[in-house]
């Protein structure tokens, strides 16, 4: 596991974008696993700028997103399909048919999960999987539990996750209570994992993910078993890890 310490959110976003861009340049038809939430927005802005400058093309790239709210249409302004369109896909030269997000409106959610698992497997899994980190240590919507779930599945969101996402909705009651999420099996099958975190509110979760025991109580801790993980965080998110004497790249 390599850990990059950046001064702030902007520097973290540039570093993450550099790593993703290098993957696309090295392998133009790569499969990118993508994440939503506030943390990757700056990373996507950097990638858009490179595409517009002619330095980076997504024409052959295929993407698979981690998750989607159950019950939200792709056109809902808080759906993750909508997020990806407005924060990345609509602004770069990626082909729409090469972008994949779980269907939150599927009549049979379990069948949709099985379909999505098969789709990701048919692509050979992600060459690079981008992950954010929840305050409770979740990755995708894999919430703290008594076991790791391997397959894409429907998950009940915890109160802490609902609280964290309530700022994006008119009221807390509007936040969906369930989501479809890629399981840890799909995430761990990625050739490389890029975990990004920003802010002091992520410091405990990041410390537990990197330095704590491997436990489903902190889903991100499973990444300790992956052979190629890169962590990029700002000083606020990484301060506990630095204080513990863990080696970081500056």
Q: Catalytic residue numbers?
A: 67, 136, 138, 143
d(CA 127, CA 63): 10
User: Which residues, other chains included, contact 186 with Cβ-Cβ below 8 Å and sequence gap of 6+?
Assistant: 117, 120, 125, 126, 150, 151, 152
Q: How crowded is the C-beta side of 236, counted as CA atoms within 13 Å?
A: 11
Please report, in angstroms and rounded to a whole number, the separation of the first and last CA atoms in the chain: 15
């Amino acid at each position: 596991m390599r850990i990059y310490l950046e001064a702030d959110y902007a520097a973290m976003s540039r570093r993450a974008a550099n790593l993703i861009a290098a993957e696309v340049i090295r392998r133009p038809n790569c499969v990118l696993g993508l994440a939503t939430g506030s943390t990757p927005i700056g990373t996507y802005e950097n990638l858009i700028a490179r595409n517009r400058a002619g330095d980076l093309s997504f024409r052959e790239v295929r993407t698979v997103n981690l998750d989607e709210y159950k019950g939200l249409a792709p056109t809902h302004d808080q759906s993750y399909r909508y997020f990806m369109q407005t924060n990345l896909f609509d602004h770069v030269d990626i082909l729409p048919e090469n972008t994949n997000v779980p269907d939150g409106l599927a009549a049979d959610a379990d069948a949709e999960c099985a379909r999505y698992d098969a789709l990701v497997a048919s692509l050979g899994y992600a060459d690079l999987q981008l992950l954010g980190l929840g305050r409770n240590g979740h990755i995708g919507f894999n919430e703290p539990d008594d076991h790791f779930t391997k397959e894409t599945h429907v998950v009940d969101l915890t109160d802490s996750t609902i609280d964290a996402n309530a700022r994006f909705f008119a009221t807390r009651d509007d936040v969906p209570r369930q989501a479809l999420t890629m399981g840890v099996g799909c995430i761990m099958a990625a050739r490389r994992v890029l975990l990004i975190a920003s802010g002091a509110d992520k410091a405990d979760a990041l410390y537990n993910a990197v330095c704590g025991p491997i436990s489903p109580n902190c889903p991100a801790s499973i990444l300790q078993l992956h052979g190629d993980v890169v962590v990029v965080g700002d000083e606020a998110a990484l301060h506990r890890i630095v204080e513990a004497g863990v080696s970081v790249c500056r």
